[in-house]
């Protein structure tokens, strides 16, 4: 089988090989050389002066929900949403996506968060991912613990290995993400277009919802652990909550609310996940912990795209140009999430024996420019940028 060589600046987990060469045979990285090839083959790629980094592993993305239901009255077929979304994702450098689907309740306001629809979409993603596709598709089930009726279905999903990550959520107002009631109220009024009376009514109703018993949550967590499904907590707002989630065999703490909670999560050997949009914008949209503040204290292991896929690429280079070694910034969206999600034996870093999921990135005035994406050693996306001088004017 023919070997393809890519020459450029190779970002390894612990260093950068300047002017090195990655050797690919079939789907696999078979060699890494600290020099450029003496001659180029027809399939070789010259990325001289550009970065060669692993494909992004996005542990938490709501993008599929938005693609399925871009407007409250517009719901698109999964066959359209799946294929159109992955074209967008690959163009952002995401080669492994964990589609985050929120199992909220039977009659959730959003179509994409109703029990039957979530269960159907999970099955459809698994089915479609076995067919023609550009990137690796996995599912992250976000289970709202006020959803009392869905527990049997969650057990079935775990046993059938239909989900690849499980997180427990509690969006009850007054704690977690919505500990600030006024911020929650403002979000309901501005984002969901509630009137003030409707927002007040919704908040009061939400406060009174019953939650799964601790024994039931523990039972689900034990089952997920038994079947090798990574478990994440969500919006941790106290050290006491961290102690509870650690007892669930959780290994991931998503979006800790305060600095001291993130610090404790690190001390407990949990992978700390923050949203890349938070880092890119410099603040949390819920008025919670700033991702950049957490980075400055060395408390972030992983960045996910959350609700904005473009944010991963730009966050990596924001961190790099702020003084972080590029390999450390890249690890936060590649190697670290792969380790947390137990797929690092195949993807997440440029190492011999791993799948050749690679990105070629140029820079213009510190702006990252993704030029090519390889998945399983095959180029699945290429963008050839042009300048005004190269494009003829049409009058």
- From the list 191, 195, 66, 159, the residue with the least C-alpha distance to 121 is 66
Residue 26 burial class via C-beta count within 10 angstroms: exposed 0-12, middle 13-18, buried 19 and up: middle
The reported pTM is 0.90
Domain with CATH 3.20.20.140 in the chain: 56-170+211-340
The length of the chain is: 395
Sheet holding 45-54, edge to edge: 28-33, 16-25, 3-11, 45-54, 358-364, 367-375, 378-382
Tell me the chain's radius of gyration from C-alpha atoms.
22
Q: What is the pLDDT of residue 297?
A: 97
pLDDT of residue 395: 45
Mean pLDDT, 10 residues at a time, the chain of 395 residues: 93 97 97 83 89 98 96 92 97 98 85 94 96 96 92 96 94 56 62 66 63 90 97 90 90 94 95 97 82 97 97 98 98 98 98 98 96 97 83 53
CATH 2.30.40.10 in the chain is located at 3-54+351-388
Q: Smallest Cα–Cα separation from 166: which of 252, 244, 243?
A: 252
User: Using CA atoms, how far apart are residues 337 and 350, in angstroms rounded to an integer?
Assistant: 14
- Copy the structure tokens of residue 229: 């499904």
User: 343-378, pLDDT tens digit by residue?
Assistant: 999 999 999 999 999 999 999 999 999 999 999 999
Residue 53 corresponds to which tokens in the numbers above? 């980094």
What kind of fold does domain 56-170+211-340 have according to CATH? TIM Barrel (3.20.20)
Cα–Cα distance for residue pair 370/91, rounded to 1 Å: 8
Q: If phi over 0 gives left and psi between -120 and 50 gives alpha, with beta otherwise, what is residue 349?
A: beta
SS3 for 325? coil
Q: What is the pLDDT of residue 237?
A: 86
Chosen CATH of 3-54+351-388 out of 2.30.40.10, 3.40.50.20, 3.90.1300.10, 3.30.1490.190: 2.30.40.10
């Amino acid at each position: 089988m023919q070997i393809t060589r890519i020459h450029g600046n190779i970002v390894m987990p612990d260093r950068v090989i300047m002017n090195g060469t990655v050797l690919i045979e079939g789907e696999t990285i078979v060699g890494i050389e600290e020099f450029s090839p003496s001659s180029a083959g027809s399939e070789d790629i010259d990325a001289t002066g550009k970065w060669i980094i692993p494909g992004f592993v996005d542990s938490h993305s709501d993008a599929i929900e938005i693609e399925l239901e871009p407007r409250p009255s517009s719901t698109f077929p999964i066959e359209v949403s799946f294929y159109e979304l992955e074209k967008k994702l690959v163009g952002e450098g995401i080669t492994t996506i964990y589609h985050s689907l929120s199992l909220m309740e039977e009659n959730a306001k959003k179509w994409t968060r109703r029990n039957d629809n979530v269960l159907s979409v999970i099955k459809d993603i698994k089915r479609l991912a076995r067919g023609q596709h550009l990137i690796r598709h996995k599912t992250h089930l976000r289970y709202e613990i006020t959803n009392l009726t869905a527990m049997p279905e969650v057990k079935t999903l775990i046993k059938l290995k239909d989900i690849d990550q499980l997180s427990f959520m509690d969006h009850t107002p007054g704690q977690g993400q919505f500990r600030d009631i006024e911020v929650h109220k403002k979000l309901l009024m501005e984002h969901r277009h509630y009137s003030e009376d409707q927002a007040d009514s919704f908040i009061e109703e939400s406060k009174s919802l019953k939650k799964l018993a601790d024994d039931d949550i523990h039972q689900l967590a034990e089952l997920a652990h038994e079947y090798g499904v990574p478990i994440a907590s969500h919006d941790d707002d106290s050290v006491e909550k961290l102690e509870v989630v650690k007892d669930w065999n959780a290994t991931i703490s998503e979006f800790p609310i305060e600095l001291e909670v993130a610090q404790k999560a690190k001390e407990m050997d949990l992978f700390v996940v923050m949203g890349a949009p938070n880092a890119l914008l410099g603040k949390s949209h819920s008025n919670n912990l700033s991702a950049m503040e957490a980075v400055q204290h060395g408390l972030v292991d992983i960045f996910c795209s959350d609700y904005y896929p473009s944010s991963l690429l730009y966050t990596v280079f924001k961190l790099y140009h702020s003084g972080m070694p590029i390999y450390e910034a890249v690890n936060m969206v590649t190697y670290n999430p792969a380790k947390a999600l137990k797929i690092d034996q195949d993807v997440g870093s440029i190492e011999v024996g791993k799948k050749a999921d690679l990105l070629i990135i140029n820079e213009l005035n510190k702006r990252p420019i993704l030029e090519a994406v390889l998945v399983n050693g095959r180029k699945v996306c290429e963008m050839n940028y042009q300048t005004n001088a190269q494009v003829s004017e049409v009058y």
